[in-house]
Amino acid sequence: MTARDQLSTPLIRLSEYRAPAWRVERIELEFDLGIDATEVFSRLHLRRDPMQDAPLRLDGERLELLSVTLDGEALDAARYRQSNESLEVDGARDGSVLETRVRLAPAANTALEGLYLSGSRDAGFLLTQCEAEGFRHITFFPDRPDVLASYTVTLRADKARFPVLLAGGNPDGAGELGDGRHWARFVDPHPKPSYLFALVAGRLEKIERGYVTADGRSVRLVMWSEANVIDRCHYAMDALERSMRWDEKTYGRQYDLDVFHVVATHDFNMGAMENKGLNIFNAKYLLADPDSTTDDEYRAVEAVVAHEYFHNWSGNRVTCRDWFQLSLKEGLTVFREQQFSADMNSRALKRIEDVALLRRAQFPEDAGPLAHPVRPAQYSEINNFYTATVYEKGAELVRMIAGRLGQEGFRRGMDWYFARHDGQAATIEDFLTALGEANDTDLSPYLAWYVQAGTPRLRANGRYDAARREYVLTLAQHTPPTPGQAEKQPLPIPVKLALFARDGRMLPLHVDGHPHSGDDELVVVVDQAEQRIVFREVDAEPVPSLLRGFSAPVMLEGLDTAADLALLLRHDPDGFNRWQAGQQLAVCAYEALRDQRQAEAVDAWCDALAGLFGEEAVDAALLAELMTPPGEVELAEREQAADPDRIHAARQALQRRLAERIGIDALMARYDILAGTTSGELDAESQARRRLKRRVLDLLALLDASRAQVLAARQYETSPGMTDRLAALSVLVRTDAPQAAPALAHFRTRYADNPLALDKWFSVQTQRAGEPALTTVQALERDPAFTLRNPNRVNALFGAWARNNPSGFHRADGAGYRLLAERLAELDALNPQIAARLATVLNGWRRLEPGRRARAKEAVEALAARDGLSRNLSEIVQSMLHD
């Protein structure tokens, strides 16, 4: 199979959804596995919808068809029609049995969709990836999520080359075939959609653990990887066990098969995949050891393991009716994973990370040409809709609903949702209805959040009336137009708020008619274009704190006087709200520096942080986050003619001001203390110290680069773990230190056999600011370890450069855009999903300053004009050019 996709590209519309005319009750699959050729025999037990008379039409792309048999009779070519995308068979009826045999070429599959080879021909293994529409690359089938079938899967292969044979479901026999081949069978008792099918075959090692569910089922948990990394699966195994216990305790959800397999691969298009009973993971999110894994990566492993496990209920037991409903499983599962991670780690930090991600990844999506609702109304290529909007904004919507129902109410609603839709393919309406019914509440107003794209702006205004002892807060909402949606409706926006006195105390809130009047924190739902809230018995002008906990995914405007924000940054008892006030204040300060204005905000931000820096009691990890201004991508979002060089310079200047305000002696002293006590341990305290140490070293580098370089070089050499080592390397690279080259050479040699560590070696070098980044990227492309065939490597080089280093990528001469466009075209011929996702880095081209805007547009247009682009990439580039 070649990746180049010449298929027609019709738009699929939600409004045109029809229930399937043909269903498959049961499927028996037999695989004769080989690297160059695999034969797939399938037997479908068909059911026909008596209300529809459509002919039997099965999805199947680029399959070499060997035979077709209907109800025992071999069909000649006149009885069926095969196109590029389907097979139509005459004469089928309700209860018919259709058998097909096809041949696949796994080793030639570079798109990593369907059945493919991971690793080398000699040592690699075979695996599948089906979501969203990969099953049609394996066999003919109604490849849509509302066709739920029971699977019996038999695998046959050469025993020496493929000693391990796995498929989803429970094992149901295995044996020898006599000719050096062997077989294994798996039966999945839970009907499932085809996107959850999976198999794995090859030489793999395992670690194993027994688990007994709360209702007493004994389960084998087995993690598989290539032999040389099997020792790095233990952390993920622990995380899996924690996830399973947590889902039992928090949602009453238990595992439902006798075995749960998890397999690691280095060749994967995304993070991981929740195939029923056989999760497959990008090694990046499964393997971990102190020597090569950073603290952030450890947390990511825990989160992704949990996410995929949680899908067993939110996704697998209750799946999606159609792909428009993707957020039904993804938004919900991200939310569940966020709750889990918050319970396992620091709640405030988790929320900070989630909101930072939303602002960095989802807000730009909502503000650009690729903006789409959490439930899109149409698509050409569904793989392009696994987006931050569907995932992260989707999770925020679930969070709002959960907040609306309260902890008990949400649990009651979820219990009812799972009970009512178990074994079904459901919709977002089903979700809202079930949660609402269980709570005698009408949640239908929240549907508007799912169908309307764009980030609402919430403008706040406050007026204090001393004579009446009243504080009047006006909240007005407005959502800017997005492509195809000019008119926007007001949405129900829950605003969690508090009022502070000037001395930093929280005030009791007296609001007429509010059920919680008198508390010091209230939620007000703004569902009109404009609303007024009157607080009574307020003795002096208060400082409002709005959108606490980030109670809705909106942009807050107004009420941002420096003194007020500084007060919240110093005094808010909630770490997240403190961070949020600090971010707002940092933006004001940054804008002042950028525009070369003198502003109170710069001093206010620096003073407040210098104060916190001196306080022992502040948590080190939170302090590190408080001292980090919004990133360059987020700052660029606020501009209509962004100049990434100018943004970089102003952000650096702001951080330098902070470093100066704290002072080199205080920074040095703190660094020494942190360096003296940091161990390689993974506990929260040690992680927090490393986080702060990294921040302090960065600030030191802004004050005295050569001194910081000496510290970084020593830190690089002496670090017990990857977090400190990589932080040190990053400082050396970004400050163009003389010590950078030897450290990089050392790293390259040390981790020559560890692809995940080597990815970091690529990424860290892409982070040089400004023009030199391009030359570095070009040199790295020539490194023998670079390949366009491995998604992690592509993301480590091009993704890190284009996404995380705006000043390095957006060169004024447009050379960055041209290089990227060139590589996108090459990549598209190999792996359209990865090419399309990488192309979205150009999403914001319209909001660049005019020179860069013109260069970026030329590059996108040149790319769009190429022949034979995949459906994936052409949908992205066409949308980006569309006015």
Q: What are the residue numbers of the active site?
A: 308
Contact track, ligand B3K, 816-835, x by CB under 6 A: --------------------
Q: What is the DSSP string of 635-684?
A: HHTT-SSB-HHHHHHHHHHHHHHHHHHH-HHHHHHHHHHHHHH--S--SH
In the complex with Zn ion, which residue's Cβ is closer, 270 or 606? Answer: 270
In the complex with Zn ion, which residue's Cβ is closer, 165 or 334? Answer: 334
For residue 13, the one-letter residue type is R
Whose CA is closest to 114, among 89, 81, 141?
A: 141
For residue 520, the one-letter residue type is D
Q: Which residues 112-171 are close enough to bind Zn ion by CB under 5 A?
A: none
For residue 575, CA distances in Å to 176, 279, 349, 355, 590 come to 60, 35, 8, 13, 22
Residue 444 DSSP label: G
Q: Which residues 478-497 are close enough to bind Zn ion by CB under 5 A?
A: none
Q: Three-class SS of residue 541?
A: coil
Q: Which residues of 226-261 are buried (b: 16+ CB within 10 A; e: fewer)?
A: beebbebbebbbebbebbbebbeebbebbbbbebbb
User: Is 330 a binder of ligand B3K (CB under 6 A)?
Assistant: yes
**CA 427/CA 413 separation, integer angstroms:** 15
Q: Which two tokens stand for residue 29?
A: 């699959």
Contact track, ligand B3K, 287-316, x by CB under 6 A: --------------------xx--x-----
User: Is 565 a binder of ligand B3K (CB under 6 A)?
Assistant: no
In the complex with ligand B3K, which residue's Cβ is closer, 130 or 829? Answer: 130
Q: How far is the CB of 387 from ligand B3K (least distance, A)?
A: 10
For residue 857, CA distances in Å to 67, 363, 518, 624 come to 49, 21, 55, 38
In the complex with ligand B3K, which residue's Cβ is closer, 148 or 165? Answer: 148
For residue 795, the one-letter residue type is N
Look up tokens 């990008």; give the residue: 282
- Selected from 275, 339, 383, 686, the binder of ligand B3K by CB under 6 A is 383
Q: How far is the CB of 384 from ligand B3K (least distance, A)?
A: 9
Look up tokens 């094992």; give the residue: 171
Q: Which among 326-334, 490-498, 648-656, 852-860 is the span making contact with Zn ion, rule CB under 5 A?
A: 326-334
| Partner whose binding site includes residue 690, from ligand B3K, Zn ion, none (CB under 5 to 8 Å by kind) | none
In the complex with ligand B3K, which residue's Cβ is closer, 286 or 592? Answer: 286
CB 550 within 8 A of CB 504: no
Contact track, ligand B3K, 116-155, x by CB under 6 A: ---------------xx-----------------------
Q: How far is the CB of 300 from ligand B3K (least distance, A)?
A: 13
| Partner whose binding site includes residue 312, from Zn ion, ligand B3K, none (CB under 5 to 8 Å by kind) | none
For residue 580, CA distances in Å to 389, 523, 565, 568, 733 come to 21, 17, 9, 9, 30
Dihedral sign computed on CA atoms, order 388, 845, 269, 756: negative
CB 191 within 8 A of CB 423: yes
| Partner whose binding site includes residue 396, from ligand B3K, Zn ion, none (CB under 5 to 8 Å by kind) | none
| Partner whose binding site includes residue 565, from ligand B3K, Zn ion, none (CB under 5 to 8 Å by kind) | none
Q: How far is the CB of 304 from ligand B3K (least distance, A)?
A: 8
Task: Please enumerate in sequence order all residues whose Cβ is within 8 A of that of 305, keeping only pairs 6 or more positions apart, or say none.
Answer: 236, 239, 240, 243, 262, 272, 281, 285, 286
In the complex with Zn ion, which residue's Cβ is closer, 114 or 331? Answer: 331
Q: How far is the CB of 275 from ligand B3K (least distance, A)?
A: 9
Q: How far is the CB of 64 from ligand B3K (least distance, A)?
A: 24
Q: How far is the CB of 334 from Zn ion (least distance, A)?
A: 7
- Describe the crossing of helices 684-703 and 705-718 by its angle, rounded to 10 degrees: 150
- Describe the crossing of helices 600-614 and 575-594 by its angle, rounded to 10 degrees: 140
| Partner whose binding site includes residue 270, from ligand B3K, Zn ion, none (CB under 5 to 8 Å by kind) | ligand B3K
In the complex with ligand B3K, which residue's Cβ is closer, 383 or 479? Answer: 383
Q: How far is the CB of 430 from ligand B3K (least distance, A)?
A: 19
In the complex with ligand B3K, which residue's Cβ is closer, 272 or 608? Answer: 272
Count of positions on this chain that bind ligand B3K (CB under 6 A): 12
Q: How far is the CB of 275 from Zn ion (least distance, A)?
A: 12
For residue 693, CA distances in Å to 225, 578, 662, 708, 736 come to 34, 21, 15, 12, 20
Q: Which among 183-191, 280-288, 329-337, 818-826 is the span making contact with Zn ion, rule CB under 5 A?
A: 329-337
Q: Which two tokens stand for residue 239?
A: 């995380």
Q: How far is the CB of 373 from Zn ion (least distance, A)?
A: 18
Task: Please enumerate in sequence order all residues whose Cβ is within 8 A of that of 377, keeping only pairs 6 or more positions apart, or say none.
Answer: 13, 14, 15, 324, 451
Q: Which among 265-273, 280-288, 675-683, 715-723 is the span making contact with ligand B3K, rule CB under 6 A?
A: 265-273
Q: Which residues 333-352 are close enough to bind Zn ion by CB under 5 A?
A: 333
In the complex with ligand B3K, which residue's Cβ is closer, 22 or 135? Answer: 135
Dihedral pair phi/psi, residue 742, rounded to 5°: -65, -35
CB 308 within 8 A of CB 279: yes
Q: Which among 272-280, 485-493, 546-554, 856-864 is the span making contact with ligand B3K, rule CB under 6 A?
A: 272-280
User: Is 386 a binder of ligand B3K (CB under 6 A)?
Assistant: yes
In the complex with Zn ion, which residue's Cβ is closer, 38 or 333? Answer: 333
User: Is 328 a binder of ligand B3K (CB under 6 A)?
Assistant: no
Q: Which residues of this protein are in contact with Zn ion, per CB under 5 A? A: 330, 333
Q: Which residues of this protein are in contact with ligand B3K, per CB under 6 A? A: 131-132, 270, 272-274, 307-308, 311, 330, 383, 386
